[in-house]
Amino acid sequence: MNKILIINMLGVAEVASIGIPALRYVKQQFPDAEVQVLSFAEGKRLFELAEPNCTVWGLENGQWPDDFFPALEAFLGLAEHIVGEGYKQIIQLDTAFLPCFLARFLKDAGEPVAGNYLSMSVQELLDGFSRQTLTAEYVNNASEYLLSTFTGMPRWFTRWWEGMLVPDGGFPEFYLRACCGFEPIDMQQSLQIAADAQLSQCGKTVVALSTEQPGHVLHYPYGQQLTLLLQQTGVEVWNVDWQRDGVEATLAKLKASNLLVAAPTAGQWLANLVGCTTLVISGQVDPRSLMPDYATDMSESPIEAAELAEDILTLLAQSE
């Protein structure tokens, strides 16, 4: 049986929104092949929950070093394993530097790589380090380092959401259809999981908040005030923290929730997996790029907690 490898090593947001539908698409296109996934940490668990019969492997937390050269060594270790597996096709979905580095190494080694890869060879990269000619701009800017066999990838660098035809699935659907050429694709962003028993039996309307990310550019600063305002009306409120609770427990809680209120980060895509309605606090992010169920108006300053609480209660009343 031919084996196909999908590389999707970024965060749980990318796995939930892009990796899972891509995996299902590839399995449909190649029903007789064994499709495997290379992922990272909690992303691995997401793939396993979505497709229990699929082989998922990769790096755990602590195995992707923060320092650059140890990280290169870790990815070269992955490359050695991949070469030994004899995959008939390797599909690299990620846009980050190290997965592209991995794909470039594999491509130069003669492996059948499709997707995104580094614009310079591994030897050129190492030479650049030794000669001190490799710039931080190259390493940190995808427009500098990214090449792709996906002919639509140049569109990834554009303000595509300002066009006339914005896909219903927002960025994930745009990326897979327009950039990667996965057409036609059924955006199957769902998985089966039992709802959290405690929340399901609490007898209250349940709202999940994914707002507390201090220091993050998308952080919503009034999460605590919002929590108190909602609790005063009898709403059960809990805070999404998949890094603390793990993705499986987080998904179970979202399954038991009536609404997720989130900054434009991973929370929305986790909620989508279990059919939890989402309200995204847009801030300066154009909601057309995300296409949530509901979104606040764009604004340079954060929406006040009292105004947001009123919007949330209105949505909850409409859904009863």
Q: pLDDT tens digits for 248-260?
A: 999 999 999 999 9
Give the chain's domains with CATH numbers.
3-179 (3.40.50), 199-319 (3.40.50.2000)
* Secondary structure class of 59 (helix, strand, coil): strand
Mean pLDDT across the chain, nearest whole number?
94
Q: What is the pLDDT confidence band of residue 307, given thresholds at 50, 70 and 90?
A: very high
Nearest to 87 by CA among 162, 151, 28, 36: 36
Q: What is the pLDDT confidence band of residue 213, given thresholds at 50, 70 and 90?
A: low
Q: Which amino acid is at 38?
A: L
Over residues 119-150, the pLDDT tens digits come to 999 999 989 988 989 999 999 999 999 999 99
Q: How far apart are CA 98 and CA 116, in angstroms?
A: 11
pTM beyond 0.85, yes or no? yes
Nearest to 282 by CA among 291, 273, 271: 291
Report the pLDDT averaged over residues 88-105: 98
Q: How far apart are CA 18 and CA 3, in angstroms?
A: 21
pLDDT, residue 265, reads 84
pLDDT, residue 218, reads 75
Q: Residue by residue, what is the 3-state secondary structure of 258-307?
A: CEEEECCCHHHHHHHHCCCCEEECCCCCCHHHCCCCEECCCCCCCCCHHH
Query: Is it the case that residue 216 has pLDDT exceeding 60?
Result: no
pLDDT, residue 214, reads 46
pLDDT, residue 299, reads 92
Q: What is the pLDDT confidence band of residue 183, given thresholds at 50, 70 and 90?
A: confident
